[in-house]
Structure 1
Amino acid sequence: MTSRCPFCTKDRPQDDSIQIEQGSVYFLRSPDPVLQCAGMIIPLRHVSTPFDLTQTEWNDTFELLGKAKLLLDQDSPDGYNIGWNVNPVAGQTVPHVHLHVIGRFVDEPFAQQGIRHHLKKQENIRSSHVRFGTDSRP
């Protein structure tokens, strides 16, 4: 039995959430009611991480990023977060690579809190970790 991938062409919903296509990638508008000015750039080919993208997929992603921004600019965001989640430990829930493009607004409760905000908190320090190539364990 093969699993279904919500981002693969054969499995994805056929609706108007796909806003733009650029060669080997497409931009899918986010259905999330909290992220009303957001979407994802997704390669047509099923690939798990950005480290596995071809040069063509990288180039198409970069070109589509500019077009996606123009589309999202219609909602007049005050800023953007752009990022990848790679592997489950980093928050990747669908094993098909996707670049998040998220419009941010000054009146959001979490305005001015960037991608690393929660990661930089004291309670996120590992009990044993390596820093700058040296093991800091006692």
Structure 2
Amino acid sequence: MKEIPLETCLLCHPELDPEQTILLSNEHCLFLQLRHAQDIQGTLAGAGIIVPKQHRETVFDLTSDEWHDTYALLHDAKRHIDEMYHPQGYNIGWNCGETGGQHLPYAHLHVLPRYADEVHAGKGIRHLFKGDSNVRGMTNP
């Protein structure tokens, strides 16, 4: 994973990204949403991430207070998304490590509302991993 200087990290300093909005916060965490996720008809309508205010590289580095506040903010984010976007389901998840799909060295919990009219409706997180195309020992195309 590529190192990012803390002074230019867009999750340490969300105000540096004009496309990013802090929607909710508590003592230890923020709920961030990109502008395109605020489009009610968009593919990722309502999606956002919950991040600790202090830089933590992975979910395994969170303090117990950050865990508690992540949990509380997840419920606040769900209420907000339910009121604004009316999804029919959710995927919630952490990517951890480069092989696990983490592209930023900053712990962030994905909050992904799901809609019945999506092409991939009904397919959860494991759908990516349990197919015949995900064979160990093969290289990425």
TM category (shorter chain) comes to 0.7 to 0.9
Q: Which runs of 5+ in 2 are unaligned?
A: 37-41
> For the aligned residues, what is the CA RMSD?
2.0
Partner of 1:136: none
Count of equivalent residues:
127
Listed one character per residue, the Cα deviations across residues 27-56 of structure 1 (whole Å, up to 9, x for unaligned) are 001334531121000001111111110000
1:57 to 66, 73, 86: 66
Q: Compare the two structures and name the one with the higher helix fraction.
A: 2
1:30 to 34, 37, 42: 34
Identity of aligned residues (%): 40
- Residue range with higher mean Cα deviation, 111-120 or 33-42: 33-42
SS at match of 2:133: helix
2:23 to 7, 11, 19: 19
**Paired residues of 2:20 and 2:34 also in contact (CA < 8 A):** no
Residue 125 of structure 1: how far off its partner (Å): 2.0
For 1:67 and 1:47, locate their aligned partners in 2 and report how far apart those are by CA, in whole Å.
22
Distance change (3 Å), C-alpha of 1:124 and 1:16: closer
Partner of 1:6: 10
Flag as ranges the 4+ runs of structure 1 deviating above 2 A: 9-16, 30-34
Partner of 1:91: 101
TM-score normalised by L of structure 2: 0.82
In our comparison, the structure showing a higher alpha carbon Rg is 1
Residue 103 of structure 1: how far off its partner (Å): 0.4
2:121 to 90, 111, 127: 111
**Paired residues of 1:37 and 1:104 also in contact (CA < 8 A):** no
TM-score normalised by L of structure 1: 0.84
1:76 to 63, 86, 93: 86
